[in-house]
């Protein structure tokens, strides 16, 4: 099996996609485990260089991307994301987790607005039926629609927690454009409900594995990819 000792130097979007597909998941920045991050294997020529597309520009086009390990960015295949959701949700749906006090109050308005879709009042039925895809909501609009517009609202912390619990995922990033039509800045995330995008994979994992089994699969995968990592390191990473 591929290990971090065999990871190639990544210079293109296609190479990154291939590595994520083979590894199953890959932290963007340092993970605390030697060699187990894109940062450890990226070509310096494409690492945050002005005027050069690199992994920051590729992030929405390579598998599932979000703050999934210890609140930090991770690339992941849809299948492994389903297993992660099985573990992190621990047998709960959102309503159950919220009602049991395991999520903060602000999580409810965020989820409610994402259920409406890209504009207030738009439902899946009005978009052409129950199976019509629901568009995500850009972060600035989501803040405005929930009234969570200042730092005191805790929006950033809550949206990150909902990513960690695998209820919400960023599905695209939109950039400001200069006079020449060139994008610039860090980009605004467009958030979607995870089940709208990866519900099939999540349901399949929950049907096949218990949360405990899903955790063990993730732990073993980290240890297989990182032969020098201790079990405690692997467990800490995916917690």
Summary mean pLDDT of the chain: 91
Question: Could you tell me if residue 153 is inside a domain?
Answer: yes
The reply to whether 5 falls in a domain is no
The SS3 call for residue 183 is strand
Please give the residue range of the domain that contains residue 174: 13-238
- Does 210 fall in a domain? yes
Q: What is the pLDDT of residues 220-232, one digit of tens each?
A: 999 999 999 999 9
Neighbours of 211 (CB within 10 A): 17
Per the structure, the count of domains in the chain is: 1
Any domain includes 139: yes
Please report whether residue 226 resides in a domain. yes
Mutual orientation of helices 231-238 and 211-225 as an angle, nearest 10°? 120
The pLDDT of residue 112 is: 96
If you compute the radius of gyration of the chain from its CA atoms, what whole number of angstroms results? 18
**In this model, does residue 188 exceed pLDDT 50?**
yes
With respect to residue 61, please indicate whether it lies within any of the assigned structural domains: yes
pLDDT for 60-69, tens place per residue? 899 999 999 9
- C-alpha torsion sign, points 217, 220, 226, 229: positive
Residue 29, SS3? Answer: coil
Whether residue 7 is contained in a domain is answered as no
> What H or E segment, with its residue span, contains residue 170?
strand 168-177
Q: Is the pLDDT of residue 129 over 80?
A: no
134-153 residue pLDDT tens: 679 999 999 999 999 999 99
> Is residue 116 one of the residues assigned to a domain?
yes
Q: Would the pTM count as exceeding 0.85? A: yes
CA distance 185 to 22: 31
Distance CA 111, CA 167 (A): 8
Structure tokens at 6: 């065999």
């Amino acid at each position: 099996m591929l290990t971090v000792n065999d990871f190639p130097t990544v210079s293109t979007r296609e190479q990154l996609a291939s590595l994520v597909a083979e590894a199953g998941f890959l932290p963007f920045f340092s993970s605390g485990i030697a060699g187990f991050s894109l940062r450890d294997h990226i070509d310096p020529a494409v690492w945050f260089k002005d005027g050069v597309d690199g992994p920051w520009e590729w992030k929405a086009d390579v598998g599932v991307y979000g703050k999934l390990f210890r609140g930090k960015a991770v690339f992941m295949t849809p299948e492994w994301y389903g297993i992660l959701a099985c573990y992190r949700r621990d047998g709960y749906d959102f309503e159950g987790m919220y009602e049991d006090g395991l999520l903060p109050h602000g999580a409810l308005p965020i989820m409610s607005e994402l259920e409406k879709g890209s504009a207030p009042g738009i439902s899946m039925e009005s978009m052409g039926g129950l199976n019509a895809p629901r568009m995500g909501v850009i972060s600035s609009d989501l803040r405005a629609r929930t009234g969570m517009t200042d730092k005191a609202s805790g929006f950033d912390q809550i949206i990150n927690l909902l990513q960690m619990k695998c209820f919400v995922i960023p599905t695209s990033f939109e950039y400001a454009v200069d006079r020449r039509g060139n994008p610039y800045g860090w980009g605004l995330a467009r958030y979607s409900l995870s089940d709208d995008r990866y519900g099939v994979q999540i349901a399949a994992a929950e049907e096949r594995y218990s949360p405990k089994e899903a955790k063990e699969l993730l732990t073993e995968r980290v240890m297989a990819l990182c032969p020098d990592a201790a079990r405690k390191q692997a467990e800490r990473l995916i917690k």
